[in-house]
Every structure is written in C-alpha cells, then in structure tokens.
C-alpha cells in the first residue's frame, strides 16, 4: 500500500487540515487495515464524511477496514508529531 498516497488522499478530504498517527497493516494476505487521526477544525461530527472517506480508501487503495479518529485540533493530541517523544 502506498502510505504517502493514502496520507495525501486523507489530507485532501474536505475540511482536513492535518493527518497524523497513520498506521497501515495487513490483517491477512487479502485484507488491509488502517487507523488515522484527522484534524478537521470547526467540523461537526459527520457520518457521511466518515463513510465517504472509508469508501474512497476501499476503492482507491483496497483498504477494507479503516478506523478514523476525527479531532477538532482545539486540544493537542498526544500522538501528533509535535507531541511524540
């Protein structure tokens, strides 16, 4: 899986200002999983955004299991690059 391409895809989603804590791994020889934190300042909880983003990951990168955490960016995330030791 093209991790840089996945990160670019996520960063280009509407309202996303930052992508961090991105992990991609194989669950099996045919199934791939992903977790990521997406910062969307001022965005409300949006199930359609999550469903469309997961569908795009599935169609474009063949990632069938995506767990996405959406943050507002109002508080620092311990897993954001500036905060990771």
Domain positions in the chain are 3-74
Instruction: Name the pTM for this structure.
Output: 0.86
Which tens digits make up the pLDDT trace of 8-35?
999 999 999 999 999 999 999 999 999 9
Q: How confident is the model at residue 43 (pLDDT cuts 50, 70, 90)?
A: confident
Q: What CATH number has the domain spanning 3-74?
A: 3.30.70.1350
Mean pLDDT in residue range 33-49: 92
Q: For 1-85, where are the E strands, in sequence order?
A: 18-26, 32-39, 65-71
Q: How far apart are CA 37 and CA 81, in angstroms?
A: 11
pLDDT of residue 85: 33
Of 56, 66, 55, 54, which is closest to residue 25 (Cα–Cα)?
Answer: 66
pLDDT in tens, 64-84: 999 999 998 767 676 666 654
Q: What are phi and psi of 51, to 5 degrees?
A: -65, -45
């Amino acid at each position: 899986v093209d991790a840089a391409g996945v990160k670019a895809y996520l960063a280009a989603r509407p309202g996303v200002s930052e992508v961090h804590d991105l992990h991609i791994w194989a669950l099996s020889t045919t199934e791939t999983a992903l977790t990521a934190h997406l910062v969307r300042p001022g965005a409300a909880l949006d199930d359609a955004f999550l469903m469309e983003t997961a569908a795009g990951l599935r169609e474009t990168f063949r990632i069938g299991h995506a767990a996405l955490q959406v943050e507002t960016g109002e508080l620092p995330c311990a897993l954001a690059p500036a905060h990771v030791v």
